[in-house]
Every structure is written in structure tokens, then in C-alpha cells.
Amino acid sequence: ADLDATTWKAFRFVTLPLLRPAIIAGFMLAFVISLDDVVITEFVKSGGQDTLPTYMLGQLRRETSPEINAIATVFLALSVVLVTVFYFVNRRKP
């Protein structure tokens, strides 16, 4: 703001880059916790509602289908790609 920037430019070029790691970490933490809270979701959800983790749990209780294997493979690949990308983005350059 001291260098004659508008409020939007100051937010976009100063504040947002400083907040970006916290926003990404919050997104990843919320995603992992939402996949982990299957038991709580089973008790809280009403009839006819299915989240992806509860759907997968229900399918695993009945039978293991190729659909569940494909979803698990996509989750594993997505996790590996995200961890690799964040490793290279946050790696310190000498």
C-alpha cells in the first residue's frame, strides 16, 4: 500500500502468497480427517445419504469390487502425486 498499490493488488501479491502454505495445509488436513471420520459419519448421516468413505466401507462389508479397488488406487496415486509436488515446491534451493 505504501507503493501506491490498490487493496486488491496488495492482497494478491503480498497477503495471498504468505497465506498459500496455510491454505494448502488446511485443505490437506481437512481432506485426510474427512476420510478418517467414517465411524462418526455412519452415526450422524441420515438415510439415503452416502459420502464416499461410507460408500466404500459399505461395499467392503459386502464384497470387494473392482470399483472400490479403482477408487483406492486413485486415492493412493493422488496422495503420492500431492506429496511429491509439495516436496519439490517446498524444497529449499541452496
Question: What is the pTM for the complete model shown?
Answer: 0.53
Please identify every stretch of the chain with a pLDDT value under 70, giving residue numbers as ranges: 1-2, 35, 92-94
Contacts of 7 (CB under 8 A, 6+ apart): 1
Per residue in 62-79, pLDDT (tens digit) is 888 888 889 889 988 988
C-alpha cell read off for 76: 493412493
- What is the C-alpha separation between 42 and 85, in angstroms, rounded? 33
